[in-house]
Each structure stands twice: as C-alpha cells, then as structure tokens.
C-alpha cells in the first residue's frame, strides 16, 4: 500500500467546510478497519430564566461523527502526542462522565 503524507500531497482547503465544537466524546468504536468517534456538546438549558442548572439537568447533544481509517487514526494520535500540552491535561470535572 502506498502512503502519501500530507506534507508531500497538495492540500485543497474548502473554506465552506463545517467546523464543529465538541467538549465530550460520546462513543468510540473500532470495527477492525476503521475507528468511529461520536462527538457531543454539553448543554444545560434552564427550565425558566433564573433557574439553577444542576448536573442532572445537563444533556449531551451529538454534534458529529468522524470515521477514520486506522492509518489516519494513528496519525491523529501521533499529532496529539506531540502537542505541548499532551500529558498535562486536567481530569474532567467531578460529577461529569468522561
């Protein structure tokens, strides 16, 4: 299998590509050939203006699913491992599933 790295291949950037914010990984699945990650975002709409938001009222909404080939997933893991903050991220807040 020939692998073309992004450094050598021409990248055509679509300015209209969706940009998604997520603060939660909802699920992660591997089927042997691909890795699927479902991303979500926490939302806590109060029932009425001024109501206190409690952990029980928070809901995770799915915002995207990304499916990567195993080589692309390995490349992503390698990139994340080289980030200056890698290994220094704080744990998720107490009372929130990770």
92: closest CA among 45, 47, 58, 53? Answer: 58
56-76 pLDDT, tens per residue?
A: 778 899 999 999 999 999 998
Residue 1 lies inside a defined structural domain of this protein: no
**Contact of 49 with 31, CB cutoff 8 Å:** no
- For the chain, the domain total comes to 1
How far apart are the C-alpha atoms of 98 and 94, rounded to whole Å? 10
Tell me the residue range of the domain where 68 lies. 24-46+54-81
Tens digit of each residue's pLDDT, the chain (98 residues): 455 555 678 888 888 988 999 999 999 999 888 999 999 998 877 677 777 777 777 889 999 999 999 999 999 889 888 887 766 666 666 554 44
Residue 66 lies inside a defined structural domain of this protein: yes
Residue 61 lies inside a defined structural domain of this protein: yes
Residue 63 lies inside a defined structural domain of this protein: yes
Residue 64 lies inside a defined structural domain of this protein: yes
30: closest CA among 73, 62, 81? Answer: 73
Residue 68 lies inside a defined structural domain of this protein: yes
Residue 41 lies inside a defined structural domain of this protein: yes
């Amino acid at each position: 299998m020939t692998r073309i790295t992004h450094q050598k291949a021409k990248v055509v950037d679509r300015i209209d590509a969706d940009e998604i914010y997520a603060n939660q990984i909802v699920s992660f699945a591997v089927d042997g050939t691909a890795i699927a990650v479902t991303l979500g975002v926490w939302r806590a709409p109060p029932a009425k203006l001024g109501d206190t938001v409690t952990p029980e009222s928070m809901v995770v909404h799915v915002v995207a699913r990304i499916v990567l080939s195993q080589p692309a997933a390995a490349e992503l893991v390698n990139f994340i491992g080289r980030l200056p903050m890698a290994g220094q991220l704080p744990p998720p807040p107490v009372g929130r599933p990770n």
